């Protein structure tokens, strides 16, 4: 029997953390024993969906920094397909349909194919990863993603020995994406990674956040996450993955080559031509933070750039 209104109760007050994490599994098990209704009333959907994520580091790739609220993460966005203001993606993406979805794999790969998204991700176990995210504009967020390491996907697809880069493409659907009716970026949005970057254990394909499916504004139904790079590398709503021999074109590099390079590694020592990259504002905080080399992921990624001039390869 609930005494407080359920909205007022933090889920941590009523569920041990392990159960909180495994709510779906718990309900599945409980339903099998015919107590589904009871389970549902102890773990109402409104608590799952609420604006909290359990504190602390759970896995080796997690940051222990405080996670941003669900509201911050889903209302302060960049997704130019839906407009250029931070509030546009959440306001204008309601009509976008991320289901059904297909991902086409092509190029230098032994198993080129077009996959239904469900089949594409079915072989893998979904993981939660709390990553620090830094936009090139000077703000940052901490986001609990749900998804799969890109390396696992690539291994299964078996790129040929000619594959040196992976190129990604966002869907082109101007009927549902009003920004695509204007030519302020080249559509469809494209991005790419060098093969070693794509295979780095940090590189993630997200299909969810906060334990739920990705909201449209965050790149539903599947998007790239490379936490040591500026946010624009994290291409959203991916429909094509192409294995290629040469460095592929990238949208922001095409749009302003002197400002955005192929690598886009977070680097406080390499300023953007129009502003400093030394500090950042964490959304929800007042004082600025120091920006960290490779966004704090140097230990995991610095060796990939050994010997490279990072001022030239920005």
Ligand X SMILES: Nc1nc2c(c(=O)[nH]1)N[C@H]1C(S)=C(S)[C@@H](COP(=O)(O)O)O[C@H]1N2
Residue 16 Cβ, how far from ligand X at the closest point, in Å?
Answer: 30
Write 120-123 long-range contacts (CB < 8 A, 24+): 120/153, 120/222, 121/148, 121/205, 121/207, 121/222, 123/156
Contact between residue 149 and residue 61 where contact means Cβ atoms under 8 Å apart:
no
Strand residues in the chain grouped as ranges (E): 102-107, 113-116, 127-134, 139-149, 165-170, 190-194, 204-209, 212-213, 223-225, 238-244, 279-282, 289-290
CB of 131 to ligand X, least distance (A): 11
Strand partners, 128: 146
If contact means CB under 5 to 8 A according to the sort of partner, which of Mo ion, ligand X, none does residue 165 touch? Answer: none
Give residues in contact with ligand X (CB under 6 A).
77-81, 133, 135, 141, 170, 189, 218-219, 231-232, 234-237
Kindly state whether residue 218 participates in binding Mo ion, applying the rule CB under 5 A. no
Supply 289's token pair.
Answer: 């933070």
42/103 with CB nearer ligand X: 103
Task: Based on the shown chain and the rule CB under 5 A, indicate whether residue 291 belongs to the binding site for Mo ion.
Answer: no
Query: Cβ of residue 173: shortest distance to Mo ion, in angstroms?
Result: 21
- Which residue lies nearer to ligand X by CB, 186 or 303? 186
Residue 77, interface with Mo ion (CB under 5 A)?
A: no
Q: Which is nearer to ligand X, 142 or 153 (CB)?
A: 142
77 binds, among Mo ion, ligand X, none (CB under 5 to 8 A by kind): ligand X
Alpha-carbon dihedral sign for residues 91, 97, 99, 102: negative
Q: Which is nearer to ligand X, 42 or 166 (CB)?
A: 166
Q: Which is nearer to ligand X, 42 or 224 (CB)?
A: 224
Q: Does the protein bind Mo ion through residue 234 (CB under 5 A)? A: no
- Which residue, 22 or 184, has its beta carbon nearer to ligand X? 184
CB 223 within 8 A of CB 193: no
Q: Which does 80 bind (CB under 5 to 8 A by kind): ligand X, Mo ion, none?
A: ligand X
Q: Which of 127, 123, 170 is nearest to 145 (CA)?
A: 127
Which region, judged by CB under 5 A, interacts with Mo ion, from 45-53, 140-148, 226-234, 283-291? 226-234
Q: Give the Cα separation of 41 and 39 in Å (integer).
A: 5
Largest distance between two CA atoms of the chain = 63
Q: Which residue is nearest to ligand X (CB)?
A: 231
Q: Residue 46 burial by CB count (10 A; 0-12/13-18/19+): exposed, middle or buried?
A: exposed
User: What does 297 interact with, of Mo ion, ligand X, none (CB < 5 to 8 A by kind)?
Assistant: none
CB 313 within 8 A of CB 304: no
Residues 95, 178: Cα–Cα separation, whole Å: 10
Is the bond preceding residue 100 a cis peptide, omega within 30 degrees?
A: yes
- Asked if residue 231 binds Mo ion (CB under 5 A), the reply is yes
Q: In the stretch 125-164, what mask flags binding to Mo ion with x, by CB under 5 A?
A: ----------x-----------------------------
Query: CB under 5 to 8 A by kind: which of Mo ion, ligand X, none does 23 bind?
Result: none
């Amino acid at each position: 029997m609930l005494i407080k209104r359920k909205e007022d109760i933090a889920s941590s007050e009523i569920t041990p953390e392990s159960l909180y994490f495994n709510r779906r599994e718990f309900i599945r098990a409980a339903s099998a024993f015919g107590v589904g209704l009871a389970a549902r009333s102890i773990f109402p959907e409104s608590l799952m969906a609420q604006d909290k994520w359990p504190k602390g580091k759970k896995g080796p790739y997690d940051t222990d920094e405080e996670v941003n609220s669900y509201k911050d993460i889903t209302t302060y966005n960049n997704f130019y397909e839906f407009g250029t203001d931070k509030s546009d993606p959440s306001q204008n993406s309601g009509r976008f349909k991320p289901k059904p979805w297909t991902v086409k794999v092509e190029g230098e790969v032994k198993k080129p194919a077009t996959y239904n998204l469900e089949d594409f991700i079915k072989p893998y176990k979904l993981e939660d990863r709390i990553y620090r995210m830094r936009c090139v504009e000077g703000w940052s967020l901490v986001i609990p993603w749900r998804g799969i390491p890109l390396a696992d996907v690539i291994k299964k697809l078996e790129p040929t020995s000619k594959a040196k880069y992976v190129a990604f493409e966002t869907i082109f659907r101007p009927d549902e994406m009003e920004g695509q009716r204007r030519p302020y970026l080249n559509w469809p949005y494209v991005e790419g990674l060098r093969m070693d970057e794509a295979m780095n254990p940090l590189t993630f394909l997200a299909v969810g956040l906060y334990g739920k499916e990705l909201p449209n504004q965050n790149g539903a139904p599947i998007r790239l996450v490379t936490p040591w790079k500026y946010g624009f590398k994290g291409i959203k709503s991916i429909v094509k993955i192409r294995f290629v021999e040469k460095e592929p074109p990238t949208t922001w590099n095409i749009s302003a080559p002197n400002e955005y390079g192929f690598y886009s590694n977070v680097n406080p020592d390499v300023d953007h031509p129009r502003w400093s990259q030394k500090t950042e504002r964490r959304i929800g905080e007042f004082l600025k933070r120091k920006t960290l080399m490779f966004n704090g992921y140097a230990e995991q990624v610095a060796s990939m750039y050994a010997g490279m001039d990072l001022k030239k390869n920005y």
